[in-house]
Amino acid sequence: MKKFFSHLVLLSVCLVFLLPIFAVLSTSLKNSEQIYQSEFHWIPSPIVWSNYYEAISKINFTKCLFNTLYLAVFNIFGVVIASSLAAYAFSVLNWKFREFFFLVTLATIMLPEMVLMVPQFLLFKSLGWYGTLLPLLAPYFCGLPFYIFLLRQFFLSIPKDLADSARIDGAGEIQIWWDLYMPLARPALMVVALFQFLISWNDLLKPSIFLIDENQYTLSLALQQFQSRLGGAEWGPLMAITLIMALPIIMLFLITQKYFVRGIAVSGLKEG
């Protein structure tokens, strides 16, 4: 009976979080007359599938999807490599001022992203990168402080005897990092990849600042432009494209939730 009530409470909480998704799905299948009715009906009658076609046709969906996936894949690759290298240096290697530079790295988390936008804009414009995808790629190849901290905590949970044994066998630091630590840190790396995919997929601020060519628009920027171009909101097509954007995130989390929970849990086991 106790287990039954526990599952009942969890199911109730789950339904509360799912209600907005059901509302978006229902609205995406309605015409304007149904949407602006005084009473909200969960099941559309009739079902209007043309909202999805209209939403996809009014934005360059294929090109925007390619741009978004392109940025997401390369950002994940860059941030995983750079952050894991930095985490390895802060957790495994012994060098002077290691703790000081780690604290400085963590301190940068306190800087709001909006504060960094102006100097980043001036820097990328001086480099001739304004209007290209490079400002949305280059920063992630330097690593991010939160990911460095997360991976460092995971690396600290790996016995250092393994690295010492590898050094005795003649392995270099890069080989130890790649062949030993990276496979063992797979759950934490999955967390980093998932977080970065979410950031790259949903990012609107940076694309709206650095991109000027519609052929380079991401899905989030195209969605914002679609709404502003109409001077209002066509809620049916708008909810349709919103649901299309949300589905990959939901599916990705369902696939990787085991690694996600394990990576978050293990990454905080050891401090120091």
- Structural domain range at position 24: 1-48
Q: How many CA atoms lie within 13 A of 157 on its CB side?
A: 17
Domain C-terminal end among 13, 33, 48: 48
Residues 21 and 138 in one domain: no
- pLDDT, one tens digit per residue, over 47-93 is 888 888 888 887 888 888 899 999 999 999 999 999 999 999 999 98
CB proximity list for 9: less than 8 A, separation 6 or greater:
none
Whose CA is closest to 266, among 203, 191, 211? 191
* Residue 181 counted as domain residue: yes
Residues 32 and 75 in one domain: no
Residues 33 and 109 in one domain: no
Domain C-terminal end among 9, 31, 48: 48
pLDDT of residue 148: 93
Domain CATH number, residue 122 = 1.10.3720.10
pLDDT of residue 79: 95
- Give me the long-range contacts of 92-101 (CB less than 8 A, separation at least 24): 92/155, 92/160, 92/163, 92/173, 92/176, 92/177, 92/181, 93/173
Q: What is the mean pLDDT of residues 20-38?
A: 84
In the predicted model, is pLDDT for residue 217 greater than 70? Answer: yes
pLDDT of residue 101: 93
Residues 29 and 108 in one domain: no
Hey, what amino acid is at 154?
F
* Alpha-carbon span 146 to 115, nearest angstrom: 18
Domain C-terminal end among 31, 48, 65: 48
Residues 87 and 42 in one domain: no
CB proximity list for 245: less than 8 A, separation 6 or greater:
201, 219, 220, 223
Task: Count up the domains in the chain and report the number.
Answer: 2
- Top pLDDT among 141 and 28 is at 141
* Residue 38 counted as domain residue: yes
Q: Please give the model's pTM, rounded to 2 decimal places.
A: 0.84
Residues 104 and 224 in one domain: yes
* Residue 205 counted as domain residue: yes
Q: What is the mean pLDDT of residues 144-165?
A: 89
Residues 20 and 148 in one domain: no
* Residue 272 counted as domain residue: no
Residues 31 and 166 in one domain: no
Residues 8 and 121 in one domain: no
pLDDT of residue 269: 47
Q: Which residue has the tokens 């969906």?
A: 61
Residues 86 and 173 in one domain: yes
- pLDDT, one tens digit per residue, over 177-216 is 999 999 988 888 888 988 899 899 988 889 989 988 888 8
Q: What is the mean pLDDT of residues 157-175?
A: 88
Residues 31 and 144 in one domain: no
Residues 88 and 3 in one domain: no
